[in-house]
Amino acid sequence: MEDEVPPQQRAVKTRKDLLLAAAEVFCEKGYEAASTVEIFKRAGVTKGALYFHFKSKSDLALGVLAEAVTTEGVAPQLFKLQEWIDTAMALAYRLPQEPVLRAALLLQLDPQFRTMFGTQPWQDWMDLTTRFLEEAKAAGELLAHVDPQRAARVLVSAWAGLQAVIEGVPSDRGLEGEVGYMLDMILPSIAVPAILRELHTRPGRGASVFGESGVTRTLKHSPGVREVGTREGAGEA
């Protein structure tokens, strides 16, 4: 007789299933039109199970947002600037495939949702990026004039703006390709030349970084960039 799944493990799985189902419904219908009934039915759980983990639809939405501020799969690098690049490109690779990440961005772009819940996730991303850039500047990777906090705001805004545009005007290069191209244009204005030559935004960087991490994600419900540098091996994960 097979051992039963431990209650704690089963609870973790139920919570993940609910977040995934909520994300899919938010992507398809928006926050306002999404219903908790559709969410718990899509997750394959009971109404009681939903309310055990999440008190309301807004609680579900906040759970989705919390999942999106992540550096999952990004390994430490020789240069902190490369580490942030890898975070940005891995997220760009993952977002089209993972409803939770895509829903988090769409929720933040929804004016009605922002009115209700504020802009904390944007601030979380800017804070995370600021920390990367502060460490990069302390290590001598950034030009002297660069203000890490202001640069973080620009980088996060540019990344999110690309995704917002792609939602309406698809790109044959995909989000990862567009993010890499954006970085090719921005990095020369913030990175010292010696470091710039070592940084990589090549096609497939995000997929490579995330794939090499050994992280695998299963989606149960869901039916060309240049290199900045010249040395091919530098900065590899």
106 with 194, same domain?
yes
Confidence of residue 209 (pLDDT cuts 50, 70, 90): confident
Q: What's residue 212's pLDDT?
A: 62
Q: What's residue 73's pLDDT?
A: 78
Q: How many domains does the chain have?
A: 2
Identify whether the C-beta of residue 153 lies closer than 8 Å to the C-beta of residue 126.
yes
Give the length of the chain: 237
* 191 backbone dihedrals φ, ψ, rounded to 5°: -95, 140
Q: What is the CATH number for 41? A: 1.10.10.60
92 with 188, same domain?
yes
Confidence of residue 4 (pLDDT cuts 50, 70, 90): low
CA distances from 173 to 93, 154, 203, 225 (A): 11, 22, 9, 8
Confidence of residue 210 (pLDDT cuts 50, 70, 90): confident
Identify whether the C-beta of residue 190 lies closer than 8 Å to the C-beta of residue 151.
yes
pLDDT of residue 150 exceeding 90, the answer is yes
pLDDT of residue 58 exceeding 50, the answer is yes
Structural domain that includes position 162: 69-212
Give SS3 for 125: helix
Give SS3 for 142: strand
144 with 86, same domain?
yes
DSSP state of 104: H
- C-alpha 89: how far from chain center: 9
| pLDDT 10s digits, 175-203 | 999 999 999 999 999 999 999 999 999 88
pTM of the model: 0.77
pLDDT of residue 80 exceeding 60, the answer is yes
In a domain, 220, yes or no: no
Residue that terminates a domain, selected from 46, 66, 86: 66
| pLDDT 10s digits, 85-124 | 999 999 999 988 899 998 988 888 887 777 777 666 788 8
36 with 48, same domain?
yes
149 with 48, same domain?
no
**pLDDT, the chain, mean:** 84
pLDDT of residue 1 exceeding 80, the answer is no
Distant-in-sequence, close-in-space partners of 106: CB < 8 Å, separation ≥ 6: 26, 27, 30, 167
